Amino acid sequence: MKVVLIGSGSVATHLGLALQTKGVIISQVYSRNALNAKTLADKLNTSFITDISEINKDADIYFYALTDTAFKSLLRKIEMPEGIQVHTAGCIPMNEFEGFTSKYGVFYPLQTFSKNKPVDFSQIPICIEASNIEVQQQLLEIGKLISEKTYLVNSEHRKKLHLAAVFACNFTNYMYDVASEILEDSGFLFEIIQPLIAETAEKTKIMNPFEAQTGPAVRMDEKTISRHLIMLNKRTEFKKIYKLLTKGIYNRHKKQ
């Protein structure tokens, strides 16, 4: 199996590495940015291009790991080869490929990637959607090659998944970031809070987040809440967040 990676960000990087480990040939990397293209191509010991017209025509699958905007702009320029065209995005509908080719799909790994942090791809849910049953079969095969968890998910459901991921990952990480700013203000190292972060995540393996909820908001400890708001007095943005999330937790638990 031979693939081309279109994009050189963290998804392209980790996907490329995972595929290569399983014996898939990464025949080429494309990126508008020559440095990024070269960096990834070097990692994968393959060649790179920055001009899409030079794309290899003989790959089995072309993975588009691009932002929404870069993807759309590339679609207008690329002359699509014979192989299967798939994008890896949570929030782009599959039918964006419609009219360009008949063999296309989506291969969405539900995970957060940073270039320099290795990931265990075998545990990453891969959400697959395809334009026809043959393509679906091929995407499932390649999905199962690198992960123990493949799912068939249509565009409508995938975008919900992506939305849930924004809360569970991006917003969660921002909560860590706010905590790190508060700690820094008081001279604490971030590490003091790491066991708490680990345990909070760990808990979701044995109970649902509704049951796992702790803290002043769920027990409506108004005294603590008002102390916290006083402490946040100069951080207007954090104060707004504190109030809104406290209200959210309260409403959620009051209802039940």
* Cβ distance to a copy of itself smaller for residue 38 or 203: 203
Signed CA dihedral, 35, 41, 45, 51: sign only: negative
* Shortest distance in whole angstroms from residue 41 CB to a copy of itself: 23
* Shortest distance in whole angstroms from residue 50 CB to a copy of itself: 21
* Cβ distance to a copy of itself smaller for residue 2 or 159: 159
* Cβ distance to a copy of itself smaller for residue 47 or 112: 112
Compute φ and ψ for 185, nearest 5 degrees.
Answer: -55, -30
* Cβ distance to a copy of itself smaller for residue 84 or 124: 124
| Residue 137, number of CB atoms within 10 A of its CB | 10
* Shortest distance in whole angstroms from residue 126 CB to a copy of itself: 11
Q: How far apart are CA 72 and CA 92, in angstroms?
A: 10
Closest CA to 142 of 5, 2, 6, 10: 2
Q: How far apart are CA 103 and CA 100, in angstroms?
A: 9
Residues 6+ apart with CB under 8 A from 165: 90, 110, 112
* Shortest distance in whole angstroms from residue 242 CB to a copy of itself: 7
| Residue 40, number of CB atoms within 10 A of its CB | 25
What CA–CA distances, in Å, run from 2 to 75, 122, 127, 145? 21, 20, 21, 14
Q: How far apart are CA 106 and CA 79, in angstroms?
A: 19
* Shortest distance in whole angstroms from residue 146 CB to a copy of itself: 13
* Residue 1, token pair as written in the block: 């199996």
* Cβ distance to a copy of itself smaller for residue 34 or 166: 166
* Cβ distance to a copy of itself smaller for residue 77 or 255: 255
* Shortest distance in whole angstroms from residue 57 CB to a copy of itself: 30
